[in-house]
Chain A
């Protein structure tokens, strides 16, 4: 298997549920990212991990909790979400986390609906 794989593809959850999104990259990259994509809005960067260390957190609410156990895996733990958190959550990876070549490889995303 190659590329960036995200599971599940679709998720429906209530506001009191706890769930996790999973991302795995098979590209040997060193940096991994979580993005949020809402309808008609630009992609919003949520978190960046570089060699398993979180390097950026774009003022994301604490109900979103990322975890990066190694350079190939990334999780996004969700709890007590709000309906406005419904969106497509995209995972991405890149090879060159420090340089100018910020070419990202994206997964297909998890379409999240919060009821």
Chain B
């Protein structure tokens, strides 16, 4: 069974304090790993897709990396507007149509 575990569950940072969110996964045949951002009262918004170990993607203050067992979402010099819940999901070969989501990391950036 495909499993996705995100840590920590919640993270509070001061503005400008860089950190990383972790997404560990156990799947048979990874086809893609996805990061989404979800603001309160809204649906998840797509950020990145990573397909193979060693791949990296960047967008503004966010950088996503992928290994064979986990993915990290690095946040550099975060701002209060980066506060949100960050969701990780995997698409595996065994269930090509489905995404298996983690429970998310709730990030709060304090001014």
State the A residues within 8 Å of B (CB). Answer: 4, 40-43, 45, 48, 55-56, 58, 90, 92, 97, 100-109
**In the complex, A72 Cα to B41 Cα: how many Å?**
23
Contact (A90, B43) CB under 8 Å given A40-B103, A100-B31 = yes
Task: Give the Cβ gap from B64 to chain A, nearest Cβ, in Å.
Answer: 14
Give the secondary structure class of A's interface: loop
Task: Give the Cβ gap from A6 to chain B, nearest Cβ, in Å.
Answer: 8
Number of A-B contacts (CB under 8 A): 55
Chain A contacts for B101, CB-based, 8 A: 42-43
Interface string of B72-94 (1 = CB under 8 A from A): 00000000000000010101000
Closest to A91 in B: B43
Task: Give the Cβ gap from A90 to chain B, nearest Cβ, in Å.
Answer: 5
Smallest CB-CB A-B distances: 3 pairs: A106-B43, A42-B101, A43-B101
Chain A contacts for B99, CB-based, 8 A: 43, 45, 102, 104
Contact (A106, B44) CB under 8 Å given A56-B98, A97-B97 = yes
